Amino acid sequence: MVESGPANLQYVTNPLLNKGTAFSLREREKLGLMGLLPPHIETLETQIDRVYAAFEREETPLDKHVYLRGLQDDNEVLFYALLVRHLSEMMPIIYTPIVGDACKKFSEIYDHPRGLIISYPERDRIDDILENAILPSVEAIVVTDGERILGLGDQGAGGMGIPIGKLSLYTAAGGISPTVTLPIVLDVGTNNQERLKDPLYIGWRHERISGDDYFEFVDLFVRAVKRKWPDVLLQFEDFAQQHAAPLLARYRDQLCTFNDDIQGTAAVTAGTLLAASNVTGIPLKDATIAFLGAGSAGVGIAEQLVQLMVRQGLSETEARARIYMVDRNGLLTDAMSDLLPFQKQVVQPLTKVGSWSDGEISLLDVIHRAKPNILVGVSGQAGLFSEEVIRAMAANTEHPVVLPLSNPTSRIEAVPADIIHWSDGHAMVATGSPFDPVVYNGKTHHVAQCNNSYIFPGMGLGVLAAGARRVTDGMFMAAAEALATLSPARSDRTASLLPDVGNIREVSKAIAFAVGQQAQLDGVAPKSTKDDLKAAINAKFWIPQYQEIV
């Protein structure tokens, strides 16, 4: 991020130092900036007005994304000040869904280095590469290997858009200073032929490495990270399902790490469903839940719901009996021989469900026979919550709760307007990507964005402020429960199940507090009083404003 040249230049080329027209006269004189900047000295407020007008002039959402990313690479305080001021409007641009387009077109729109790209051929030099991260210290890393970018599949090195977007929310929503956040791509090749054929593709032009070579490479990376930043928080993001769960199992006791698609998604969904059960009056232990998609997200959510039902009094067996996971080959049963290890706990006994169909048991079979009142979509496939599925569900329950969580918008299982129409206005809906409210029969239904963005910024803040050494399941449960208590929905089924995105900074602080307390209870963070924990969170919470440099 710092460019070479005379020392004074860094103040206008390093986005962590640059203040542009807001450098004071004294700073301009001391830092050697006279003449480099126009004479009129501006406030951050005036600068925000200018960049907001420029943002508005950009025509397409991707153009707006490119503009904001450019601003981020130019002046981070200004970027975050703008973002915080217009969070609801800009979150969909820097994050889901538009970040999906940005990943697909990453090579085309590539402009500036940000973060680290660690390519497989450079595997013997990872320590040197980490030294090149030009940040005073690194406290939070988001890493991807680009293989399962949202529901868009393998984007190779273009997956870098995701760690950048996630870390932008660490700062804008979680108050973590951009001076300590580092996005990383592990570039192990790509099997995306379009990318490989693209003369502009920025990644390693090679098919993905796999098997032992893959796991050894990730191991080299994690060991290097532990050497360089032993206390860092390492978030794994958008890994394919054959890697996500094994990597989490391997590293969760070695360093402070979590997998956002498994654990963050589970917590936001558990929080949303706890909020929904306050409205429906049906406690989770009495719910029946069907999933479409038994991958990282689906099974992660299912396992957290099992834990929640057990807390509400069920045995684990009773809880598991209430969960139906439908994947490509139909309902997961104990007779299936090709399941991945992490899927084997979320099966139904064939003795119970075998008579439901002559062949594979479809989602519709499950809806007819199990009569779920909750339906979760994490398949990455558009349109699979058909009218027939939603009508069948609504026929069996007065209070259908439908969560089509696949991202980006193009991959959603059904759009909220359709679900609300097909259920005659009865369904409560929350989606992974943002949606406008739906008006049906004169009533406005607000659609919560059930996205792990409600969890990971607060998790990060809580971990760093509390000094946690590990991330426990209990901390995700605490995050889910804290989120549910902030839900604006009480008895009104048309209210949003989650707080407004515009309030996400306060949500993150509340989650950080719950997470920090739980970390202490779980023995992974030093004990402190509640007041001290609150004070630590507030002290950690970075506000985008200029500091006097001289």
Provide the binding-site residues for ligand NAD, judged by CB under 6 A: 148, 150-151, 241, 261, 265, 268, 292-298, 326-328, 378-381, 384, 405-407, 411, 432, 450-452
What order of strands is seen across the sheet that includes strand 323-327? Answer: 330-331, 323-327, 289-292, 374-377, 401-404, 428-431, 448-449
Q: What are phi and psi of 533, to 5 degrees?
A: -65, -45
- Catalytic residue chosen out of the listed positions 95, 120, 170, 214: 95
Q: Does 261 bind Mg ion (CB under 5 A)?
A: yes
Instruction: State which of positions 376-435 bind Mg ion (CB under 5 A).
Output: none
Residue placing its CB nearer to ligand LMR in the complex, 313 or 383: 383
Please, what is the minimum distance in Å from the beta carbon of residue 454 to ligand LMR? Answer: 10
Q: Is 500 annotated as a binding residue?
A: no
Total of chain residues touching ligand LMR, rule CB under 6 A = 9
Residue placing its CB nearer to Mg ion in the complex, 154 or 261: 261
Question: What SS3 class is residue 348?
Answer: strand
Please, what is the minimum distance in Å from the beta carbon of residue 222 to ligand NAD? Answer: 20
- Catalytic residue chosen out of the listed positions 19, 64, 104, 166: 166
C-alpha separations of 201 from 3, 68, 146, 487, 548 in Å: 24, 22, 14, 43, 41
Q: State the Cα–Cα distance between residues 288 and 415, nearest whole angstrom.
A: 22
- Among residues 456, 454, 463, the alpha carbon closest in space to that of 484 is found at 454
CB atoms within 10 A of CB 418: 19
Q: Which of 452, 472, 494, 518 binds ligand LMR (CB under 6 A)?
A: 452
C-alpha separations of 212 from 219, 271, 394 in Å: 10, 37, 47
- Which segments of 59-174 are extended strands (E)? 116-119, 140-144
Residue 333: DSSP 8-state:
B
Residue placing its CB nearer to Mg ion in the complex, 259 or 472: 259
Residue 298 contacts which entry, Mg ion, ligand LMR, ligand NAD, none (Cβ below 5-8 A, type-dependent): ligand NAD
Residue placing its CB nearer to ligand LMR in the complex, 300 or 499: 300
Q: Is 531 annotated as a binding residue?
A: no
Residue placing its CB nearer to ligand LMR in the complex, 263 or 288: 263
Instruction: State which of positions 150-169 bind ligand LMR (CB under 6 A).
Output: 150
Instruction: State which of positions 469-528 bind ligand LMR (CB under 6 A).
Output: none
For residue 72 the two structure tokens come to 């981020």
Q: Is 237 annotated as a binding residue?
A: yes
Please, what is the minimum distance in Å from the beta carbon of residue 239 to ligand NAD? Answer: 8
Please, what is the minimum distance in Å from the beta carbon of residue 237 to Mg ion? Answer: 5
Residue placing its CB nearer to ligand NAD in the complex, 272 or 517: 272
Binding pattern to ligand LMR, positions 232-271, x when CB under 6 A? ------x---------------------xx----------
Total of chain residues touching Mg ion, rule CB under 5 A = 2
Query: 64-78 burial by CB neighbour count: b if 16+ within 10 A, else e?
Result: bbbbbbebbbbbbbb
Residue placing its CB nearer to Mg ion in the complex, 142 or 468: 142
CA torsion, points 477, 483, 484, 485, in degrees to nearest 10? Answer: 110
Q: Is 387 annotated as a binding residue?
A: no
Residue 534's Cα: distance from chain center in Å?
24
Tell me which residue has its CB nearest to ligand NAD. 295
**Amino acid letter, residue 459:** M
CA torsion, points 71, 72, 76, 78, in degrees to nearest 10? Answer: 30
Please, what is the minimum distance in Å from the beta carbon of residue 65 to ligand LMR? Answer: 14
Instruction: State which of positions 357-376 bind Mg ion (CB under 5 A).
Output: none
Q: Is 238 annotated as a binding residue?
A: yes
Question: What SS3 class is residue 389?
Answer: helix
- Among residues 331, 240, 340, the alpha carbon closest in space to that of 293 is found at 331
Q: What is the 3 state secondary structure string of 257-310?
A: EEEHHHHHHHHHHHHHHHHHHHHHCCCHHHCCEEEECCCHHHHHHHHHHHHHHH
Residue 242 contacts which entry, ligand LMR, Mg ion, ligand NAD, none (Cβ below 5-8 A, type-dependent): none
Active site annotation includes 166: yes
Angle CA(377)–CA(293)–CA(433) in degrees, nearest 5?
35
Q: State the Cα–Cα distance between residues 118 and 377, nearest whole angstrom.
A: 33
Q: Is 451 annotated as a binding residue?
A: yes
Residue placing its CB nearer to ligand LMR in the complex, 32 or 61: 61
Residue 404 contacts which entry, ligand NAD, Mg ion, ligand LMR, none (Cβ below 5-8 A, type-dependent): none
Please, what is the minimum distance in Å from the beta carbon of residue 96 to ligand LMR? Answer: 3
Please, what is the minimum distance in Å from the beta carbon of residue 251 to Mg ion? Answer: 17
- Among residues 99, 98, 407, 459, the alpha carbon closest in space to that of 264 is found at 459
Q: What are phi and psi of 181, to 5 degrees?
A: -110, 140
Q: Which of 18, 47, 72, 96 binds ligand LMR (CB under 6 A)?
A: 96
Tell me which residue has its CB nearest to ligand LMR. 96
Which residues are tagged catalytic?
95, 166
Bind-site residues:
148, 237-238, 261, 407, 451
Residues of each annotated binding site for (S)-malate? 148, 407, 451
User: Binding residues for ligand LMR, per CB under 6 A?
Assistant: 96, 150, 238, 260-261, 407, 432, 451-452
